[in-house]
């Protein structure tokens, strides 16, 4: 047996004689004596430890075989996948006027037509007939401004799924201003499970960053809706910060608690950076969730804000293996006009459209530079299961093209150990140390 190459080993003065291992493929954390760790690297493994170390992915039969296996990981995952997930844009209309909105250049009074909705329903039922469960995220603009068509799509798919013994579920990506109890109750019956909504920091910042079109603040309306619906639907709160204001974002956590919104009422809180866009405006809202950057201020902000969330007892994502949506055959972004994309940030960009509902998906291998991470350097990199070449959006932003990797090494070097230690120290039920 050999020690996997997809692993980080951390030592610290607080635990002399011990090493902490973080196994990337399983996100497993374990603490070993330095002596045992030295033994493992010399292939001297006590029999009593072997089974656990294999189960947690520390030991593999062969490092070269594991490396070869990683090369084709997405082919295997895609072949096994029985779930179709799509981010479905229902309308570009919105009742807020956020200055950083990345949809701003193509926002307007346009929505999914009845015939596009029919096509979406038909194509989705074909996927169900092929044995797939379906999870949609309905998105906008503001998705709840398109409630009639949302109800029609969800109603027909929920009915089709129950007739076929399949699952249909959906989430809302919403600004939260229209998420009242009656609406949520109706939608839960059609398969609504979760709502991702946004509060951009403490009230004064939020009201400046996310005003209604009239100019008045939306903070109070959103807070009232969280209080009215948290027991019906899983609420994830996102918050967009920038370099100049992130230090004030922990105030939001205090305001939530003061309003009686407690950690058990929210599924999780995630703070996201608002990132610059190629046209020198900005890219915000939840879509930046899968991107990261190694700018020093962003590293500092990520650590500071994550610690604040955990210290107040709220949940936030653990470090987990992840890859760009582009790698997953059954994950799509569907525009209001039936255009198909592989990333929400690329929606509306003709050259990055991968097909249409009517014509199906074309070959996007070259456009998205598939397999860009299958190099010696990436296949040998311990962070591969967390990166797979990084974010094509950020790369295009920096270089104007999707022509190489967006390397996350510096970012992960700077934050991963600290994220793991935050989880061990600050979560109320910490991950078990094996
Ligand atoms: S390019 Fe991929 S990783 Fe980047 S934001 Fe889009 S889906 Fe996420
Ligand atoms: S892009 Fe960088 S961090 Fe990502 S797998 Fe390759 S070498 Fe590692």
Check residue 236 and give its pLDDT: 98
Domain ranges of the chain: 2-71, 82-311
Token representation of residue 155: 């109603």
Q: Is the CB of 209 under 6 A from ligand 1?
A: no
Number of Cβ within 10 Å of residue 285's Cβ equals 24
Q: Most confidently modeled of 90-99, 255-264, 268-277? A: 255-264
- 287 pLDDT higher than 50: no
Token representation of residue 66: 């594991």
CA distance linking residue 53 with residue 59, whole number of Å? 6
**How many Å lie between the centroid of ligand 2 and the Cα of residue 297?**
21
For residue 394, give the ligand nearest its CA. 1
Band (105; pLDDT cuts 50, 70, 90): low
Number of Cβ within 10 Å of residue 246's Cβ equals 22
**How many Å lie between the centroid of ligand 1 and the Cα of residue 290?**
6
Q: Is the CB of 347 under 6 A from ligand 1?
A: no
Check residue 149 and give its pLDDT: 98
Q: Is the CB of 386 under 6 A from ligand 2?
A: no
The radius of gyration of the chain from alpha carbons, rounded to an integer in Å, stands at 23
**How many Å lie between the centroid of ligand 1 and the Cα of residue 367?**
14
Check residue 104 and give its pLDDT: 57
Check residue 303 and give its pLDDT: 96
Check residue 98 and give its pLDDT: 82
Number of Cβ within 10 Å of residue 264's Cβ equals 10
Check residue 275 and give its pLDDT: 67
Check residue 207 and give its pLDDT: 96
Band (286; pLDDT cuts 50, 70, 90): very low
Closest Cα to atom 1 of ligand 2: 407
Q: Is the CB of 382 under 6 A from ligand 2?
A: no
The average confidence (pLDDT) of the chain is 92
Which ligand 2 atom is nearest residue 409's CA? Answer: 3
Question: For 180, phi and psi rounded to 5 degrees?
Answer: -85, 170
CA distance linking residue 248 with residue 202, whole number of Å? 7
Band (290; pLDDT cuts 50, 70, 90): low
Check residue 291 and give its pLDDT: 59
The pTM of the full predicted model, rounded to 2 decimals, is 0.91
- 285 pLDDT higher than 70: no
**How many Å lie between the centroid of ligand 1 and the Cα of residue 345?**
7
> Count of alpha carbons within 13 Å of 321, Cβ hemisphere only?
17
User: What's the rounded mean pLDDT across residues 299-315?
Assistant: 97
User: What's the rounded mean pLDDT across residues 394-423?
Assistant: 92
Q: Is the CB of 391 under 6 A from ligand 1?
A: yes
Q: For residue range 119-170, list pLDDT tens digits in order.
A: 999 999 999 999 999 999 999 999 999 999 999 999 999 999 999 999 999 9
User: What's the rounded mean pLDDT across residues 16-44?
Assistant: 94
Which ligand 1 atom is nearest residue 393's CA? Answer: 1
Question: For 175, phi and psi rounded to 5 degrees?
Answer: -75, -10
Site to probe by mutation for ligand 1, drawn from 284, 332, 345 as the one with most ligand atoms within 8 Å of Cβ, is: 345
Q: For residue range 66-88, list pLDDT tens digits in order.
A: 999 999 999 999 999 999 999 99
C-alpha torsion sign, points 114, 117, 121, 126: positive
Which ligand 1 atom is nearest residue 390's CA? Answer: 3
Closest Cα to atom 6 of ligand 1: 343
User: What's the rounded mean pLDDT across residues 200-214?
Assistant: 94
Q: Most confidently modeled of 96-100, 341-345, 381-385? A: 381-385
Helix residue ranges, H only, 276-408: 296-311, 376-379, 384-387, 392-399
User: What's the rounded mean pLDDT across residues 3-17?
Assistant: 93
Closest Cα to atom 2 of ligand 2: 407
Nearest of 145, 148, 153, 201 to residue 173 by alpha carbon: 145
Q: Are 336 and 91 in contact (CB under 8 A)?
A: yes
Q: Is the CB of 383 under 6 A from ligand 2?
A: yes
Q: For residue range 355-374, list pLDDT tens digits in order.
A: 999 999 999 999 999 999 99
- 11 pLDDT higher than 80: yes
Check residue 106 and give its pLDDT: 56
Q: Is the CB of 129 under 6 A from ligand 2?
A: no
Band (296; pLDDT cuts 50, 70, 90): confident
Check residue 373 and give its pLDDT: 97
As assigned by CATH, the class of the 82-311 domain is alpha beta
- 403 pLDDT higher than 90: no
Q: For residue range 214-272, list pLDDT tens digits in order.
A: 999 999 999 999 999 999 999 999 999 999 999 999 999 999 999 999 999 999 999 99
For residue 407, give the ligand nearest its CA. 2
- 379 pLDDT higher than 60: yes
Check residue 99 and give its pLDDT: 79
CA distance linking residue 2 with residue 42, whole number of Å? 9
Which ligand 2 atom is nearest residue 378's CA? Answer: 6
Classify 110 as helix, strand or coil: coil
- Which of 141-150, 269-278, 305-314 is predicted with the least confidence, judged by mean pLDDT? 269-278
DSSP-derived pairing of the beta strands 83-89 and 360-361: unpaired
Check residue 294 and give its pLDDT: 73
- 351 pLDDT higher than 70: yes
Site to probe by mutation for ligand 2, drawn from 390, 392, 399, 403 as the one with most ligand atoms within 8 Å of Cβ, is: 390
Check residue 107 and give its pLDDT: 59
For residue 378, give the ligand nearest its CA. 2
For residue 290, give the ligand nearest its CA. 1
- 431 pLDDT higher than 50: no
């Amino acid at each position: 047996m050999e020690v996997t190459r997809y692993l980080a080993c951390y030592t610290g003065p607080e635990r002399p004689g011990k090493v902490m291992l973080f196994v990337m493929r399983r996100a497993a954390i374990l603490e070993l004596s330095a002596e045992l760790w030295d033994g493992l690297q010399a292939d001297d493994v006590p029999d009593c430890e072997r089974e656990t170390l294999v189960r947690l992915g520390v030991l593999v039969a062969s490092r070269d075989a594991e490396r070869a296996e990683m090369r084709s990981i997405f082919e295997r995952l895609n072949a096994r996948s029985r779930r179709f997930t799509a981010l479905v844009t229902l309308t570009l209309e919105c009742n807020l006027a956020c200055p950083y909105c990345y949809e701003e250049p193509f926002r307007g009074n346009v929505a999914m037509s009845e015939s596009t909705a029919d096509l979406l329903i038909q194509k989705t039922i074909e996927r169900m007939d092929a044995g797939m469960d379906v999870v949609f995220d309905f998105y906008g603009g503001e998705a709840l401004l398109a409630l009639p068509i949302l109800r029609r799509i969800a109603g027909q798919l929920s009915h089709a799924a129950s007739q076929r013994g399949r699952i249909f579920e959906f989430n809302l990506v919403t600004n939260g201003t229209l998420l009242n109890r009656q609406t949520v109750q109706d939608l839960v019956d059609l398969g609504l499970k979760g709502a991702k909504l946004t509060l951009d920091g403490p009230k004064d910042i939020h009201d400046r960053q996310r005003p209604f079109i009239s100019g008045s603040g939306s903070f109070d309306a959103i807070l009232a809706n969280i209080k009215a619906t948290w027991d019906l639907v899983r609420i994830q709160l996102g918050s967009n910060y920038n370099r100049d204001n992130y230090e004030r974002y922990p105030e939001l956590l205090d305001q939530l608690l003061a309003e009686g919104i407690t950690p058990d009422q929210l599924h999780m809180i995630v703070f996201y950076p608002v990132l610059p866009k190629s046209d020198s405006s900005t890219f915000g809202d939840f879509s930046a969730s899968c991107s990261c950057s190694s700018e020093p201020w962003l590293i500092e902000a990520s650590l500071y804000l994550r610690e604040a969330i955990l210290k107040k007892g709220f949940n936030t994502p653990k470090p987990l293996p992840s890859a760009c949506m582009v790698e997953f055959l059954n994950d799509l972004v569907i525009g209001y006009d039936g255009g198909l994309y592989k990333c929400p940030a690329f929606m509306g960009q003709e050259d990055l459209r991968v097909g249409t509902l009517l014509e199906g998906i074309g070959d996007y291998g070259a456009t998205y530079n598939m397999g860009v991470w299958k190099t010696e350097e990436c296949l040998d990199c311990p962070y591969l299961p967390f990166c797979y070449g990084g974010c094509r959006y950020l790369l295009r932003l920096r270089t104007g093209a999707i022509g190489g990797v967006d390397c996350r090494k510096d970012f992960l070097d700077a934050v991963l150990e600290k994220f793991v230690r935050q989880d061990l120290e600050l979560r109320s039920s910490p991950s078990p140390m094996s």
